[in-house]
Amino acid sequence: MKTFPMFLKTEGRRIVVVGGGEQAAQKVRLALKTSAEILVVSDAPDAEIADLARQGRIVLHTDGLHETAFENAVLAFVATDDGAIRAAAHALAQRCGVLVNVVDAPDLCDAFTPSIVDRDPVVVAIGTEGTAPVLARGLKATLETMLEPRLGDLAALAGRLRGEAARLDPRRRRDLWRWVFNGAPRALHAAGREREAAALVKDAIANDRLPEDRDHPATGFVSLVGAGPGSRDLITLRGAQRLQEADVIFYDRLVDPDLLELARRDAERIYVGKTPGTAAWPQERINALMVRTARAGRRVVRLKCGDPGIFGRGAEEAASLDEAGINWEIVPGVTAASAAAAATSGFLTERGEADTLVIATGQLRAGDGDPNWASYLLPGTTLALYMAVGAAAKVRANLLAAGVEPDLDVRIVSRAASPAERVVITPLDALADTIEREGVENPAIILIRRPKRELPARVRVEIRPDLSRDLRLVAAV
């Protein structure tokens, strides 16, 4: 970031606006939302600014710009088309150590004016470093529809009750406020039933009891969360919420590091690697650490690339949690096969072409033997093979031996939905050679679609009288 987002304290401070036209009036309207003293410097203020001065809502200086205007100022806006005044005001504000925003002059700005969603004391500021104000306004419009008008009142209620809630255990306090802002109190408050909402919150604090305690057990809780196949925007909303609630996050090597930015800043992050061919983090160690962490009463997220229910060893982790008496949940994610198909502008199923989807793996446990991939790839089937790059030669041999067409298109997608995404297309009989030649590496998905066979145009059927139930297809003509 070229700028650092931060809210400035305005209580007991001054905001200076240099200029008297419409642009200056816009900044004054914005500043009036704060508790600052507003001082406008202009010898020709428009009617709106002059009227605000008569009402005593702002202070108007008409005798020119002086250094005294910036005394105790936290911020200055320079909103004038006069180049000489603009340069002088910018230089004077900087000499006085005041952050300055010069309208329509990003190079002269120490601070940029964001688009603001105001639910005081909840304020959302959207900045683009002065590059795309139209985009910022569009995002503001979206957020305005998402946040109920009186959300700030609920936040203010929480602020008044923070002292009473301080006696609760820190984890219980997080559970309390999570419930307040995501559960029944917020729903009641948004429906105009503010007193009921307040009573509910006060009762929960007084008795240290939440109606949703089932979801916040004293022994901790584990969420097995699918991170999606690549970029951070493919995680689900529920997955992002669980990251924000987590005390501890266990994550794999394939998880986009940007996803961790969605977590609380104070959440502990533990990298568990899972690099193929190494034993730095064997599954048993991960299971034991998750159990120990949850038993300490902490909320745990096990963040897995793709979907935790598809070749993620989630069942083994769930079994260990069950054995230890730890409550857990599955938060599904977008699996890599879906992202791989999207990368090829294709679909995993398609009416008339492929009405069956088989998800299989090319990497099994030692001693299990190789699967019969050809038994999965019947006509009308899409076969999505995970972790099969190293088994490409075996896959090719198995399919060709079963009579699968050698010229069948195979699509190999590595690092789907990431900046390093790559698609390689090859005929089946060249699968292994192409992977070696192109240097394709895991993580990758191999997609093979075998279209439905066309039925012969006409058939001759012989019915044998001695076997009335036996209809035999003799020949195609």
H or E stretch covering 50: helix 47-54
Residues 424 and 432: their CA atoms lie apart, in Å, by: 12
* Whether 257 and 163 share a structural domain: no
User: What phi and psi, each to the nearest 5 degrees, are found at residue 180?
Assistant: -60, -45
Backbone angles phi, psi at 193, to 5 degrees: -105, 60
Question: Which CATH number belongs to the domain containing residue 52 in this structure?
Answer: 3.40.50.720
Quote the tokens at residue 58.
């702002």
pLDDT at 366: 67
Residues 237 and 196 in one domain: no
Domain assignment of residue 2, yes or no: no
Q: Which two tokens stand for residue 78?
A: 């320079």
pLDDT at 274: 60
Q: How would you class 330 by CB atoms within 10 Å of its CB: exposed for 0-12, middle for 13-18, buried for 19 or more?
A: middle
Domain for residue 262, yes or no?
yes
> Phi-psi category of 248—alpha, beta or left, where left has phi over 0 and alpha has psi -120 to 50?
beta
Q: Could you say which of 175, 252, 256, 307 is catalytic?
A: 252
| Structural domain includes residue 54 | yes
- Of 168, 183, 215, which residue constitutes the final position of a domain? 215
Rg, the chain, Cα only? 32
Count: domains in the chain: 4
- Alpha-carbon distance of 447 to 388, in angstroms, equals 10
| 36 and 64 co-located in one domain | yes
Catalytic residue among 153, 175, 247, 274: 274
Q: What angle do CA 466, 471, 472 make, to 5 degrees?
A: 105
Which of 87, 113, 139 is a domain's end point? 113
Q: Examine residue 124 and state whether it is found in any structural domain, yes or no.
A: no
Given this model, what pLDDT does residue 452 score?
A: 85
pLDDT score at 252: 87
Verify that 376 and 314 share a domain, yes or no: no
Give me the pLDDT at residue 410, please: 96
Burial class (CB in 10 A: 0-12, 13-18, 19+), 232: middle
Q: For residue range 314-323, list pLDDT tens digits in order.
A: 999 999 999 9
Listed as ranges, residues in the chain with pLDDT below 70 are: 211-219, 274-280, 365-367, 454-477
Which residue segment(s) compose the domain that 374 sits in? 338-450
How many Å separate Cα 149 from the centre of its chain?
A: 25
Query: pLDDT tens digits, residue range 18-72?
Result: 999 999 999 999 999 999 999 999 999 999 999 999 999 999 999 989 999 999 9
| Catalytic residue list contains 252 | yes
- Residue 412 lies inside a defined structural domain of this protein: yes
20 plus 76 within the same structural domain: yes
Per the structure block, which two tokens stand in for 254? Answer: 């394939």
| Alpha carbon separation from 26 to 21, 42, 101 (Å, rounded) | 9, 14, 13
Same domain, 280 and 362: no
SS3 (DSSP) at 326:
coil
Q: What is the CATH number of the domain that holds 439?
A: 3.30.950.10
Question: Is 207 within a domain?
Answer: yes
Question: Which residue among 215, 244, 263 closes a domain?
Answer: 215
Please check whether residues 269 and 348 belong to one and the same domain.
no
pLDDT at 253: 84
Q: What is the pLDDT of residue 442?
A: 86
Domain match, 278 and 380 both: no
Domain of 328: which CATH number?
A: 3.40.1010.10
Q: With respect to residue 281, please indicate whether it lies within any of the assigned structural domains.
A: yes
**Is residue 311 classed exposed, middle or buried when 0-12, 13-18 and 19+ CB atoms within 10 A define those classes?**
middle
Instruction: Determine the pLDDT at residue 456.
Output: 47
On whether both 99 and 56 belong to a single domain, the answer is: yes
H helix or E strand, kind and range, residue 128:
none
229 and 182, same domain (yes or no): no
Kindly report the CA angle at 4 between 233 and 136, in degrees rounded to 5?
Answer: 55
pLDDT at 43: 92
Question: 342 and 440, same structural domain?
Answer: yes
What pLDDT, on the 0 to 100 scale, is given for residue 213?
Answer: 52
Same domain for 247 and 270, yes or no, is yes
Residue 462 lies in a domain: no
